[in-house]
Amino acid sequence: MNLFDFTDGREGYYGEYGGTFLPEILHTTIEELKLEFRKAKEDPAFWQEFLQLMQSYSGRPTPVSYLENLSKKLGGAQIYVKREDLNHTGSHKINNVMGQGLLVKRMGKTRIIAETGAGQHGYATATMGARFGFDTKIYMGAHDVARQRPNVFWMENMGAEVVAVTDGQQTLKDAINECLRDWVTNMDNTHYVLGTACGPHPFPEMVSWFQSIIGKEARQQMLDNAGGLPDRIFACVGGGSNAMGLFQGFLDDEAVELVGCEAGGLGEGKGNHASRLAYKDASVGVAQGMKTYFLQNDDGNMLETHSVAAGLDYIGVNPVLVHLWEKERVRFEAVTDDEVTEALKMAMLTEGIIPALESAHGFAQAIKEAATMKPSERVLINMSGRGDKDIFTIADALGDEHWKRFIAQKADEYKAEKEG
Amino acid sequence: MSSLKTYLTERRQDKDCLIMTHVVCGYPSFEDNWKELEIMQQFDVDMVELQFPFSEPSADGPLFVKANQAAIDSGVTVADCFEFMQKVTAHFSFKVIMMGYYNTVFKTGQEIFLQKLADAGAAGFILPDLPVDEAQELYQIGTQLDLAPIVLMTPTNTDERLAKLAESADGFIYTVARRGVTGSQTEMDNEVATFVGRCRQATDLPLAVGFGVSEKKDIDFIAKHADIAVIGTAALRAWEEGKEAALNAFFKKLLA
């Protein structure tokens, strides 16, 4: 299945979803980007350069780990995990970012901007900016800055300027709007490093292409080390980049079921979650450069969203995944905040791994389903990122008293330092 | 040809520079909007854009972003905007243009939305996030209802693209004098004159110049090179600073 062959349809469309909905002032810029991307995609040397960079700088290929303890404990399917958390900067975001960085060099631009939700994409972009010598500015919702301070710390220390966006809900979507505003002013020297497989064409295709490295590796690793392909694969879906990355490796394997796991937050009901497809609270709209499913009201204004995981807390979803969902190639499920916390605890206690809160959505759903499957079956989870960054949120969710005491003590020290 | 183009062409014969102003529906309130419009009528403005507030106003600058958000937070709906537009077109003599984002139209349904717009007395619509390549069906419905699709031309467009934009346009052309979002300052210089000249080559529709018009010298410049001055952020800023008195003083100085 070649999702990106547009010869029989409209370029940038997947079924009726996708498209390029941008102000006219960006027309020339986006055309230039399409052209450069097309050239890069058709140039085998470019993918080789990308692979080498990811090997030498980010530790690829990331392994697939067999979770023997967890599999035994559940007594169902054998559980495998693709370890994107072992990338440099701790998540799959670096794949897309380094790829776009190589493209920026080809385009001769010197300045990059990016939005970030959880901060993983901003962190990866700041890393790439430092490595390639670009002037870097990261837009982040003020609400996310408050809950993801450790990532902000690293971004700033790698020389990026971090701007807290105070418009709207002060989360990911507002940071994207702010990037578009920057881009319409500075498109001559600036590339917008969009972090997920959303936004106007060619971003959904381009980000999916760089992330496809995950699925390519994972498929081969399952064949080599697990004795065969998985029966089901699980990935969390915010914008959809890690899911697109993993799923593309298995699209043509019809026996492999693809499961997208969305943020169920507090459960069904508008405003309680960030699930666009598993729950029935979203509808088709056009915003943030694309036509897709959005959590919106009858007037087309976007709803508040909620998730314990900042990286999944988003109103829209990758248009390719919507298309695959309609064709019943991808199944969507929602996982609540409470289920996520339980899955995270189980992963830490039985296997000593710390999935990010985002990735823990995939774990929760896989754990639920694996228990009902046969021991001869296999499941694969994409561990898109590591959870160390979420220490404040996780500590709150677990109600860890020792951690609270430590933070209070630190606060006292800083206070004394200031007053002293 | 749309009746908007005829109206503008006729008005232009008697005036050096036509004026289009901008109001965000329901911000600060519909009562305030009405008072602003009364002042605009006194100064004989030719057109007013009524912006339907949207939660993701990505082509707007900080002041209008705030206005959009505040209007939505105070409960302004699309239905309220249509009702207000109906009252405005029944009472005032300037032409009214709907301005907003495409999702508002898409979610209502293209045909239903444009029919409501026609019923409310609008003369055209501006949707800055809808490129002409995606707009052909909408524009056709608009033309049947005598609603002019207003197209934006920008300094980054090639001559070839400008020609394509001109093919889709009616009413007038909104030329974006500078890069960036609404409300940023522009020096009305040679670069702008050259750009407006390129637009003139591409179309015989009246040319409006937008983004950053705030002083008398801007109006003089536009009178010389184009047809319509777009007054957006500067008027809202005046209203926020001192309501009727400040807005009156702003227009008096601007149009002296």
Q: Is residue B247 part of a domain?
A: yes
Q: How far, in Å, CA of A309 to CA of A83, rounded?
A: 19
Instruction: Please tell me the predicted confidence (pLDDT) of residue B184.
Output: 56
Q: Is residue B142 part of a domain?
A: yes
What is the least distance, in Å, from the CA of A402 to any CA of chain B?
A: 41
Count how many domains chain B has. Answer: 1
Tokens matching residue A8? 């029989």
Q: Is residue B201 part of a domain?
A: yes
CA angle B176, B178, A182 (to 5 degrees): 110
**Which residues of chain B neighbour A28 with C-beta distances below 8 Å?**
156-158, 161
Domain of residue B76, residue span: 3-251
Which member of A93, A137, A173, A389 is catalytic? A93
Instruction: Name the residue among B55, B106, B176 with its Cβ closest to that of A301.
Output: B55
Categorize the per-residue pLDDT at B61 as very low, low, confident or very high, splitting at 50, 70 and 90: confident
pLDDT tens digits, A55-72: 999 999 999 999 999 999
Specify the CATH number for the domain of residue B35. Answer: 3.20.20.70
User: Is B152–A177 a contact, with Cβ atoms under 8 angstroms apart?
Assistant: no
Mean of pLDDT values over B41-53: 98
Which residues, in sequence order, are bridge partners of residue B228? Answer: B18, B208
Q: Who contacts B205 (Cβ-Cβ below 8 Å, separation ≥6)?
A: B5, B166, B169, B170, B171, B172, B173
Q: How many CB atoms lie within 10 A of CB A297?
A: 16
- pLDDT higher than 70, residue B180: no
Tokens matching residue A126? 């700041």
- pLDDT higher than 60, residue B13: yes
Q: Please tell me which residue, B32 or A393, carries the higher pLDDT value.
A: B32
| Cis amide leading into A202 (omega within 30) | yes
The CATH T-level fold of domain A21-55+92-204 is: Rossmann fold (3.40.50)
Instruction: Please tell me the predicted confidence (pLDDT) of residue B214.
Output: 85
- Per DSSP, A8 falls in state T
Q: Is A83 helix (H, G, I), strand (E, B) or coil?
A: strand
Categorize the per-residue pLDDT at B188 as very low, low, confident or very high, splitting at 50, 70 and 90: low
Instruction: Please tell me the predicted confidence (pLDDT) of residue A397.
Output: 81
Q: What is the 3-state secondary structure (H, E, C) of B53-116?
A: CCCCCCCCCHHHHHHHHHHHHCCCCHHHHHHHHHHHHHHCCCEEEEECCHHHHHHHCHHHHHHH
Which one, of B98, B54, B99, B50, lies nearest residue B72 by Cα? B54
Q: Is residue B69 part of a domain?
A: yes
Q: Is residue B7 part of a domain?
A: yes
Amino acid at B197: G
**Which residues of chain B neighbour A173 with C-beta distances below 8 Å?**
56
Mean of pLDDT values over B216-242: 94
Categorize the per-residue pLDDT at B183 as very low, low, confident or very high, splitting at 50, 70 and 90: low
Which residues, in sequence order, are bridge partners of residue A233? Answer: A258, A380
Q: Is residue B216 part of a domain?
A: yes
- Cβ proximity of A113 and A192 under 8 Å: yes
Q: How far, in Å, CA of B55 to CA of B62, rounded?
A: 13
Write b or e for each residue in A310-324: b if 16 or more Cβ atoms lie within 10 A of its Cβ, otherwise e.
bbbbbbbbbbbbbbb
Q: Which residues of B are catalytic?
A: 49, 60
User: Is B133–A29 a contact, with Cβ atoms under 8 angstroms apart?
Assistant: no
- Cβ proximity of A311 and A386 under 8 Å: no
For A347, counting Cβ atoms within 10 Å of its Cβ (0-12 exposed, 13-18 middle, 19+ buried), the class is buried
User: Is A283–B107 a contact, with Cβ atoms under 8 angstroms apart?
Assistant: yes
Instruction: Name the residue among A28, A294, A298 with its Cβ closest to that of B156.
Output: A28
In this prediction the ipTM stands at 0.94
pLDDT tens digits, A96-107: 999 999 999 999
- pLDDT higher than 80, residue B185: no
Instruction: Give how far the C-alpha of residue A387 lies from the chain's centroid of Cα atoms, to the nearest Å.
Output: 14
What is the least distance, in Å, from the CA of A179 to any CA of chain B?
A: 9
Instruction: Please tell me the predicted confidence (pLDDT) of residue A247.
Output: 98
Tokens matching residue A104? 């920026």
Instruction: Name the residue among B57, B106, B161 with its Cβ closest to that of A300.
Output: B106
Predicted structure pTM score = 0.95
Chain A 181-240, CB below 8 Å of chain B: which residues?
Answer: 181, 184-187
Q: Is residue B238 part of a domain?
A: yes
Q: Is B155 helix (H, G, I), strand (E, B) or coil?
A: coil
**Which residues of chain A neighbour B176 with C-beta distances below 8 Å?**
24-25
Q: Who contacts B215 (Cβ-Cβ below 8 Å, separation ≥6)?
A: B253, B254
Sheet holding A232-236, edge to edge: A64-66, A78-83, A378-383, A232-236, A257-265, A330-336
Domain span(s) for CATH 3.40.50.1100 in chain A: 21-55+92-204, 61-90+213-396
Q: How far, in Å, CA of A170 to CA of A159, rounded?
A: 23
Smallest CA–CA distance from B52 into chain A, residue? A299
> Where are the extended beta strands (E) located within A207-256?
232-236
Instruction: Please tell me the predicted confidence (pLDDT) of residue B181.
Output: 59
Count Cβ–Cβ pairs < 8 Å, chain A vs chain B: 112
What is the least distance, in Å, from the CA of A26 to any CA of chain B?
A: 8
Class of domain A61-90+213-396: alpha beta
Instruction: Please tell me the predicted confidence (pLDDT) of residue B87.
Output: 98
Tokens matching residue A407? 């933070």
Q: Is A334 on the interface with B (CB under 8 A)?
A: no
pLDDT tens digits, B84-100: 999 999 999 999 999 99
- Per DSSP, A81 falls in state E
pLDDT beneath 50, residues of chain A: none
Q: Is residue B256 part of a domain?
A: no
Q: How far, in Å, CA of A211 to CA of A130, rounded?
A: 21
DSSP A161-217: EEEEE-STTSSHHHHHHHHHHHHHHHTTTEEE---SS-SSTTHHHHHHHHHHHHHHH
Q: How far, in Å, CA of A396 to CA of B151, rounded?
A: 51
